[in-house]
Structure 1
Amino acid sequence: MTLEAMRRAEIARLNDHFRFTGEGGWTYLSRGVAALPIMAKEAAIRAVRHFADFTPDNDPHGEHDCALLSVGEHRIMWKIDYYPHNDTRDHAPDPADPATTKRVMTIMLAGEC
């Protein structure tokens, strides 16, 4: 495995851990998701937490940082962005380093992109 492949695998591992636990960052719901009935909102969050259907088509860089899925009648998109741990204005220099990177996930309706 190349150094770059190992780096991407570590980013994917960190993203999966964050997505499942919420540790190491913040999660935001878009207005559309926040306005869903509680059961639909909970189903969307649970689907994002447990998403594992990554393919080269929906995850070309192998970092598990974005996906589109169906939850009931809703198309949900989620994405993870990276920021310096202490400043959300600039991108983090290395998303493979959890000591310097805060992950921010946004869960939205596909039509809100």
Structure 2
Amino acid sequence: MAATAQQTVEPGQVDYALIAQQNDAFRKRLPEGGEGMIVQATAIDNMGPAFVAACLNQILTYDDFTEDNDPHGTHEMGFMDIMGRKVWFKIDLYDENYKYGTPAATDLSKTRRVLTILFPSDY
């Protein structure tokens, strides 16, 4: 079995690489992405179920993260073209009651993800 490199993170620092892994897993609906929900802006919903399904399908496979659109490397926001329309998705991290920001971004027991699908004009 090959050894894998482990990134060490100093106490009090954010492990951006682990957040990116968890965000990717959440988008792909894998258990290691933790709990959360996917919501869409009313304007996205008004486009109809085929449009929403196309958004969800592209979000599952999205991998166009660059330093320009993902400066911290957390894979929390993406920009796509769906049926000729520009669409964004954004992942926010909340506490387990969805009331405040999470106190521990990489602790899946204390963090809930909300992925929002929206048009740029909704931001």
CA deviation vs aligned residue, 1:68-99 (integer Å, no higher than 9, x gap): 111121111111111111x2221111211111
Give the TM-score normalised by the residue count of structure 1.
Answer: 0.89
- How many angstroms apart in 1 are the aligned matches of 2:49 and 2:115? 19
**Correspondence list, 1:1-113, <5 A:** 1-3=7-9, 7-21=15-29, 24-85=35-96, 87-113=97-123
Give the number of equivalent residue pairs. 112
TM-score normalized by structure 2? 0.82
Which is helix-richer, 1 or 2?
1
Moved over 4 A (4+): none
Distance 1:37 1:31 in 2: 10
Ranked by relative contact order (alpha carbons within 8 Å, sequence separation 6 or more), the top structure is 1
Identity percentage of aligned residues:
29
Q: CA RMSD for the aligned pairs?
A: 1.9
Structure 1: which 5+ runs fail to align? none
Structure 1 or 2, whichever has the larger Rg, is 2
Secondary structure of the corresponding residue to residue 21 of structure 1: coil
Alignment partners' CA distance in 2, 1:52 and 1:103: 18
**CA distance in 2 between partners of 1:25 and 1:6 (Å):** 20
